[in-house]
Amino acid sequence: MASSSNNHPSLTAPWHCFAACVKDGGIAFEKAHGRQIWDFASENPEFNKIFNDAMACTTKISITAVIAAYKDGFDGIGTLVDVGGGTGGAVAEVVKAYPHIKSVNFDLPHVVATAQAYDGVSHVGGDMFESIPYADAIFMKWILHDWNDEDCIKILKKCQKAIP
């Protein structure tokens, strides 16, 4: 029987490195597993599912608030790219509320490979540090906090190039 996400060994192992990270710096997940979480997920389908399911769960709550607060903000958008969009739940909800929008859920290939089909959403695998699909607007949720300032600038410059 698979471990639940709360006690999965891949998620609990970084906590054993927490003291070392406080003392010496570094990222606990990388200390525990020897690689970034994204690489680890690409090599471990069970972990990838747990991670993607957790992100999708929190998306259900947050995207409802975003759509309600942004109201008419999506009206003038014809195409929308969700950069780091996981399995596509966020843009699927945007398209459900604004069916005129054609959207792209853009994430790493191993992530979008597990995404279900949604009307008005195409899933594209790629690397946001290399290029981002063209669109009228970019949507990002819980992306930039994972990166240092230099990487955030790279991501934002790629976003800028993707918008006409």
> Mind telling me the catalytic residues?
145
Task: Say which residues have a Cβ less than 8 Å from residue 7's Cβ, sequence separation at least 6.
Answer: none
- Residue 74's nearest CA partner among 120, 42, 29, 30 is 120
Alpha-carbon distance of 29 to 27, in angstroms, equals: 6
Contacts of 10 (CB under 8 A, 6+ apart): 33, 40, 44, 47, 50
Whole-angstrom distance, CA of residue 40 vs CA of residue 7: 17
